[in-house]
Structure 1
Amino acid sequence: MGGILSGIRVAMLGGDAREVLLLEELLRQGAEVRTAGLGDLPEQEGCTCCDDPLDAVQEAGVIILPVPGIKAEGIIHAPRARQPLHFTRELAGAIPAGTPVLVGVARPYLKEMAAERGWQLVETAEMDEMAILNSIPTAEGAIMLAMQELPITLHGSEAFILGLGRIGFTLARMLAGIGARITIIDRGASDRARAYAEGWPAFTFTELAAVIERADVIFNTVPAPVLTGELLARTRPDVLIIDLASDPGGTDFTAAAALKRRAMLAPGLPGKVAPRTAGRILARIYPALILKCLGRL
C-alpha cells in the first residue's frame, strides 16, 4: 500500500467517532493500524482489531490515545469498547522508550508513565492549529447549550467570557455576531487590548467582582479556579455559567450549588456536538505530526 505513512505501524487505543475518521485517513495514507477498544469496525485493508491493548502495541512505531486521554485510575476513554479499557503498567512496559505517544490531553497518570518510560509524549489539544480549529465546534456547542438553558435570547444578553484565548476569541466573535453584548475578563494586557480593538469592554480578574452582577451568561475558558464562591455570590440569581475549561474546570461548583446558581461543566464539546468535524481535524493534523515525530518531515 502506498502513501506517505507507508511502513509505519500505528496502535490506536480507545477512542470515539473522531478516532474512527482518523483511522480511515491513516489507512488511506498507507499506515498499518492496530486498534483496541475502538468498537466493531468494518474490515479494512491494513487494519487489525485487537481485543487486548497489549497485542495492539506490539512493534508499534506510534501510539495514538483518545483526545480526552486517560483518567487518573488508568481508564482509557473508549465509549465504543465492549468493556472498560485500562492503561496498565504492563501495557506501559511494552512501549519502548522514544516512542511517540499522541494524546489530546495528558493527565498526571500518563505524564508520570511517559517520564518513567522515556516516551515522546505529544499533547495535541494544546497545539495552536488543533486548538484554533477545535475552537469553532467548541464555540458552537457552547452557544447551543446557552440557547437551550437561557429563558432569554442571546441577542441583547450580557455575555461574559473569561479568558480571551483561542476558544474565548472565537466564542466572542460568534456571540457578537448574533447580537450579544460581550464583556471580556482576561489577565493579559495584550488580550484586553485585542478586546478593545474589537469593541468589547475588557477587565482584569481583580476587577471582575465589580461588574459580574451584570452577566446573564458567563462562559469560562480558564483552567484555573477563577469563579470562586465569593464571586458567585455576587452574580445574579438567574445567571447561567458554562465552564468550557478542562476537568475540573474553573468554577467552584459546590458553591454554585449552594447558591442555587446554574453552572455546568462542558469540556470536550467538539467530540460531542460535531464529532465528524472534530474527526476531520484529527485527520488533517495527525499524519504530518506522525511524520514529524518520527523525523521524516
Structure 2
Amino acid sequence: MQINLKGISIVVLGGDARSLAMMEDLTASGAVVNAAGMPADVIPAGVHYFSEPEACLAGAGAVILPVPGMSEKGYLHSPLAAQPLAFTEDLAARFPPGIPVFVGVAGPALAKIAANSGLRLIELMKMNEVAILNSIPTAEGAVQMAMEMLPITIHGSCAFVLGFGRTGATLARLLGSMGARTMVAARRPEYLARITELNLTPVPFADMPHYLDEADVIFNTVPVPVLTGEVLEKVHPGTLIIDLASAPGGVDFQRAESIGVKAVLAPGLPGKVAPKTAGRILAKVVIRLLHEEMAGN
C-alpha cells in the first residue's frame, strides 16, 4: 500500500539523477516537493522549482541533501547544475528547527556545519536497509564492469569475492548463478558456513593469498588494505581487480600496476549504473521514516 505523505513539505537541495527519481516518488506519495540547486528543465512534473534555496525552506518538514553530501570546498553534489549550490552555516540556519535532514553520507565539512547549526542529520547509507537494497545495483554494476573488461565470459571464469558483508553476499550469489566458479573470503565461521550452503567455495581470510593465483577476476568489498603489495605478488598477471570498497579502497593500486594487474576503484556504482533504482530505494526509506515520524507526532 502506498504511504500517504499529504501535508508534508519536503525540500530537495542539489543532487543528481537519483534525486530526480526520489522527487518523483515523493510527489507520488502526496508530499509537496520543492527543489533548488538543479536546472529547472530537469525537475520532474509536480515539483516546485526555486532559483534560491532560502525561498523554499519556509515550512519544510524535511530536507534531502545529495547522496554524496557536499565537497570539502563547501558545495553540494550537483553534477546536473552549471553552478553547484554552496552549503553554508547561514543556509543551514534557515532550516526549520528539529526537522530531519537526509543525506547519503556526511563528510567532515557537512558534519561540522550540521553540528554547529544543530541539524538533525540522518545518513541513509549507514542504514542496513539501504545498504542491503543498494547491494543489488552494486553487484549488477560490478559484473557489468567485469564483462566489459574481461576477455572471457563470467560463466566458467574463476571469480574471487573478498568479504561477505551486504555487498559481498549479493555479488557472490550473482556470480555463482551466472556459472562462475566463485570463491569467497570471509573471517567469521558463520559466514563461511553460509558460503558453503550457497554452493560456493569458502576461503578463510588468512588463507586468501594462497588461492589468488586461480582468479580471473577479484572483487574486493573490504574497506581496509587487504590486497597489499605483498599479497598482490600472488595474483596472476592479467587478473582483473574491481575494488568496490569506499575510497581509498583495499588495494595497493600502484603496486598492482607495476606487476601488470589491472585494478580499478569503483565505489558508488548504484548511482552510476542504475540511478533510477538507487533513487527509488532511497525514496522508499525516506517515505517510511517520515510516515513513522508523522505517526509519532
Q: Is the structural similarity TM-score above 0.5? A: yes
2:52 alignment counterpart: 52
Given that residues 10 and 63 in structure 1 are in contact (C-alpha distance below 8 angstroms), is that contact kept between their aligned partners in structure 2? yes
* Structure 2 Cα separation of the partners of residues 165 and 35 of structure 1: 35
Aligned-pair CA distance for 1:295 = 5.6
Q: TM-score, normalised by structure 1?
A: 0.90
* Structure 2 Cα separation of the partners of residues 155 and 177 of structure 1: 9
Aligned-pair CA distance for 1:99 = 2.5
Change (3 A) 1:177 1:25: same
Deviations 1:209-266 (A, max 9, x none): 2222222111111222222222122211111111112222222223323333211111
Identical-residue share of aligned pairs (%): 49
* Structure 1 Cα separation of the partners of residues 43 and 69 of structure 2: 24
Aligned-pair CA distance for 1:293 = 4.3
* Structure 1 Cα separation of the partners of residues 293 and 112 of structure 2: 20
> Which sections of structure 1, spanning at least 5 residues, go unmatched?
none
Q: State the secondary structure of the residue aligned to 2:264.
A: strand
Given that residues 249 and 265 in structure 1 are in contact (C-alpha distance below 8 angstroms), is that contact kept between their aligned partners in structure 2? yes
Q: State the secondary structure of the residue aligned to 1:75.
A: coil
Given that residues 20 and 43 in structure 2 are in contact (C-alpha distance below 8 angstroms), is that contact kept between their aligned partners in structure 1? no
Change (3 A) 1:221 1:295: farther
The residue identity in structure 2 corresponding to 1:210 is H
Given that residues 12 and 56 in structure 1 are in contact (C-alpha distance below 8 angstroms), is that contact kept between their aligned partners in structure 2? no
2:269 alignment counterpart: 269
Aligned-pair CA distance for 1:42 = 5.4
* Structure 1 Cα separation of the partners of residues 162 and 118 of structure 2: 36
Aligned-pair CA distance for 1:71 = 2.6
* Structure 2 Cα separation of the partners of residues 229 and 57 of structure 1: 51
Q: Which moved more, 1:232-241 or 1:121-130?
A: 121-130
1:11 alignment counterpart: 11
Question: In the TM superposition, what are the counterparts of 1:99-118 in structure 2 within 5 Å?
Answer: 99-118=99-118
Count of residues paired in the alignment: 294
Deviations 1:106-141 (A, max 9, x none): 222222333333322212123232222221111111
Deviations 1:9-36 (A, max 9, x none): 2111112222112112212222222211
The residue identity in structure 2 corresponding to 1:268 is G
1:187 alignment counterpart: 187
1:84 alignment counterpart: 84
Matched, 1:221 2:221: yes
Change (3 A) 1:272 1:100: same
Deviations 1:145-192 (A, max 9, x none): 001101111112111111111111111111111111111112222212
* Structure 2 Cα separation of the partners of residues 19 and 111 of structure 1: 20
Q: State the secondary structure of the residue aligned to 1:196.
A: helix
* Structure 2 Cα separation of the partners of residues 43 and 78 of structure 1: 16
1:135 alignment counterpart: 135
Aligned-pair CA distance for 1:144 = 0.7
2:31 alignment counterpart: 31
Question: In the TM superposition, what are the counterparts of 1:253-292 in structure 2 within 5 Å?
Answer: 253-292=253-292
2:200 alignment counterpart: 200
Q: State the secondary structure of the residue aligned to 2:142.
A: helix
> Which sections of structure 2, spanning at least 5 residues, go unmatched?
none
* Structure 1 Cα separation of the partners of residues 279 and 175 of structure 2: 25
* Structure 2 Cα separation of the partners of residues 36 and 55 of structure 1: 9
Matched, 1:162 2:162: yes
Given that residues 14 and 84 in structure 2 are in contact (C-alpha distance below 8 angstroms), is that contact kept between their aligned partners in structure 1? no
Q: State the secondary structure of the residue aligned to 1:76.
A: coil
* Structure 2 Cα separation of the partners of residues 295 and 252 of structure 1: 49
Q: Which moved more, 1:233-242 or 1:58-67?
A: 58-67
Given that residues 139 and 167 in structure 2 are in contact (C-alpha distance below 8 angstroms), is that contact kept between their aligned partners in structure 1? yes
2:175 alignment counterpart: 175
Q: State the secondary structure of the residue aligned to 1:235.
A: coil
The residue identity in structure 2 corresponding to 1:35 is A
